[in-house]
Each structure stands twice: as C-alpha cells, then as structure tokens.
Chain A
Amino acid sequence: MVEGDRMAPAAAHRTASVDGAVPEADTAVYEAVFNAAVAADERIEPRDWMPDAYRSTLVRQIAQHAHSEIIGMQPEANWISRAPSLRRKAILMAKVQDEAGHGLYLYSAVETLGVSREELLDKLHTGRQKYSSIFNYPTLTWADVGAIGWLVDGAAITNQVPLCRCSYGPYARAMVRVCKEESFHQRQGYELLLALSQGTPEQHAMAQDAVDRWWWPSLMMFGPPDDESAHSAQSMAWKIKRHSNDELRQRFIDICVPQAKSLNLTLPDPDLRWNEERGHYDFGPIDWAEFREVIKGNGPCNEQRISQRRKAHDEGAWVREAAAAYAAKHNGATGAAVEPSADTADMNGKA
C-alpha cells in the first residue's frame, strides 16, 4: 500500500467519520482490531484506525526525529568549507546531504498521520516541537566532525535499528532506509578520528578533546532513565519502541569502550569498568540537570540553531514562490494537480 493513499477521498471521509460521531461500540471494535494487529506484530498503516494517543505519540516522535536530522545538518555544515582535504570535504558534503534526505523521509512519514509539512516546520521554528538536544552543542574543532560521526551517529544507529521494526509501517520503512545510510556516517567519523589519533601529538589531543566533549551528551541522546521517562512504557506496549532508554544506552556503551581502545582514545568517565557479573560496563552518573537545561533552551547553541533554520527557510521563500509560479503557468502541460493561489496568479499577471 502506498502512503499517498491518504490523499484519496476515501481516506478523508474515513478520518472525518472517526473524528466525528462514531458510536462507542464501533470504536471498541476498531480498537480490538488495532490491538490484535500490534500483538501479532503486524504493521499499522496510514489509513488503519488507530487510537488518538498512538497517533499523537507518533507525530511527536517522528517530527522530533525529522527536525533532528534537519537541525543536525548545521553543526557539521559548519566545517565543510574548512575540511582539511578534498576527500574529507566531499565525504562531509555527502553526509550532510544524507541528513537532509533522512529529514525528508521522516517528514513524509509523519505527514501520513495527517499533519502538513508547513505545520511541522512552523512548530519547529516556534519551538513547539523539539529536536535532539545533542545538536545544541557547538562543533569547535575539525575533530568534532569525527566525534559526531562516531558517537552521535553511533548512538543514533543504536536507537534506530530497533525502530526498523516499529509498529507504524511508514516510520519503520523510513528507518530501514536511514539505517542503511547511517553506517557510512559512523565509519567515516571513526576513520577521521583514527587519522587524527595516529597523527601529531596536537592532532591526537584534538581528537581526545572532541571525544571528551561529545561522550556525555551522546549518552543523553537515549533519553532520561527508564523510571523518569514519561512516554516509554506506553510506546513499548504499542511496539513503537522495542527497547528501553537504559537498555539502549548500555548497549551503546558496551560497543564504544573497545572501539575507543582501538582508537587509542579514552572515554571521560573514571567509573567506566567491566562488570563481570552483569556482563556489561558500569558507568558513572549522567548529569541530567544539564540535559534538562539544554532541552529547556539553555544549551550553548539553541538560539543559533533555530534562528539559522528560520533564516534559511525565509531566504528560500523566493525559490518556492518562483517554482510555484512556474508550475501554475505550465500546469496544463505537466498535468500536475496544482491549485494556483491568488499570490502566484498575481505574480503571473493572470489574476
């Protein structure tokens, strides 16, 4: 089934009737069908009936995810013009372009839930929807590009692989595509750090400094501890999430420790040590006060990220207007279903 069928008249009718007066008995039947599908590990598709809270949870999560991809372009794009070689520059441009692509896959997925792209962008621009707090940290040196690839993308992959089996079909399909591309991101970061680590003492120190700054914020990417996570239990019951925040965080730490060793870099946690009994690495306390401050908007770059996003959007307006005017003018030729707005008709002089 194509996601686009949300546009079909039947879909519109159905949503209207669900939003409107559906007899309670019918809702109970719908809910039973939905619960059975989730229990059987089937996927929920855009036009299936779903509980309002399931829909709003998905909108919140997928929108935040999409926004993170788009905002995440900024800290890395910061270094494109100063990449130390043409090879590194080409890699970084390809990576930032991938992030844009990931944002677009995810926006398409959230739009299947009946939210418009404009509304999503508006909510990002006005702070009513969030993005990952990790992108509110600055990229101070070239080594940060490596640390982001290795740690931030590594944490993202740990989070995202289980999302490929999310109960909501369009989100799961978007994540399959994202995960395929993400592994290049992580490997280029690791390779970049390795090159620095094996370089001059100054380069090694630069790599170590980047890892020291990005390690803790990367661990915070998994979200608050399970007993403080507002949405976790319900999301797991709906099979939107497959593993808890703490479980994924532990998995990530266990993966990173040996990788750091082969990089010849240390992780900035004196409490990090193997626990034979648990079969996992123990680690020190995470500064959740800092996490909450950054989420509240008091991170080093919150304001800069949003104002740059708004600026890019505003400065691109003339491109969208020109493309819409062109499409309206040639509508007959392409057969595209464009309704020219009063604005574009005016611009065409055909009002």
Chain B
Amino acid sequence: MTTEQSPLWEVFVRSRRGLSHTHAGSLHAPDAELALRNARDLYTRRGEGVSIWVVPSKAITASSPDEKDAFFEPAADKPYRHPTFYEIPEGVKHL
C-alpha cells in the first residue's frame, strides 16, 4: 500500500532577532506541525534560526517569469525615485 506524497511546504527562517524571515528551502510533510519539526531538523541543525515559518507551497502566488519585463517595467522609467536624481549645490550638508 502506498500513500500520496505529502504536501510541499516552503520554509522561512529568521536567523536572529531583528532580521526578517528568509526563504531557506522546501520540504514535504503531512501537516503543519510536522512541517515545522522537520524544518527545525533540516534547516536549523547549527543554530541557524530563532524562528521558523512553514507555508504550504500551494498557497504561494508568484509573478510569471514570462511577464517580468512588463510587470516590473513601471519602475524602470522613474529615476526620480532615487536620491541621486537630484542635483544639490556643493557644500550643502546633511542632505
């Protein structure tokens, strides 16, 4: 008798207080509690984390690589969003 492959989870680890959780990898587990325990054993064997999130991979909606140019293009033509866009006379301080 075989069982269905258990669902895939994405693991996010906060390496220390003050930092965001970042994606560490993925794993299979039948439920959230086991996913969390497996994530601890798999991704924090050497004290790499102080907090772990596990998220069902199915719950993630991703932007499409095909559309990445069109999707991110609105940012490309707005150089005035960067501080270096502005010319400031020499000698002006704290700006």
Contacts and interface: CB of A to CB of B under 8 A. Distances in A.
A320 interface: yes
A224 B56 CA distance: 42
Main secondary structure of the interface of B (DSSP, over half): mixed
A330 B6 CA distance: 14
A323 interface: yes
A32 interface: no
Contact of A326 (B31, B55, B59): B31
A101 interface: yes
B49 to A, nearest CB: 13
B60 A108 contact: no
A98 interface: yes
A104 B27 contact: yes
A294 B35 CA distance: 38
B2 A317 contact: yes
Contacts of B31: 323, 326-327, 330-331, 334, 336, 338
B84 interface: no
Contact of B1 (A97, A335, A343): A343
Contacts of A174: 25
B26 interface: yes
A48 interface: yes
A1 to B, nearest CB: 7
A337 B5 contact: no
Interface stretch (B61-69, B72-80, B87-95): B61-69
A5 B57 CA distance: 7
A324 B27 contact: no
A344 B3 contact: yes
A64 B49 CA distance: 30
Nearest to A339: B4
A14 B62 CA distance: 13
Nearest to B66: A14
A3 B25 contact: yes
Interface string A68-110: 0000000000000000000000000010011001001100100
A12 to B, nearest CB: 11
Contacts of A40: none
Contacts of B57: 2, 4-7
Interface of B: 1-10, 23, 25-28, 30-35, 41-42, 45-46, 55-62, 64-66
Interface of A: 1-8, 10-11, 14, 45, 47-49, 94, 97-98, 101, 104-105, 108, 111, 116-118, 173-174, 177, 181, 317, 320-321, 323-324, 326-327, 330-331, 334-339, 341, 343-344
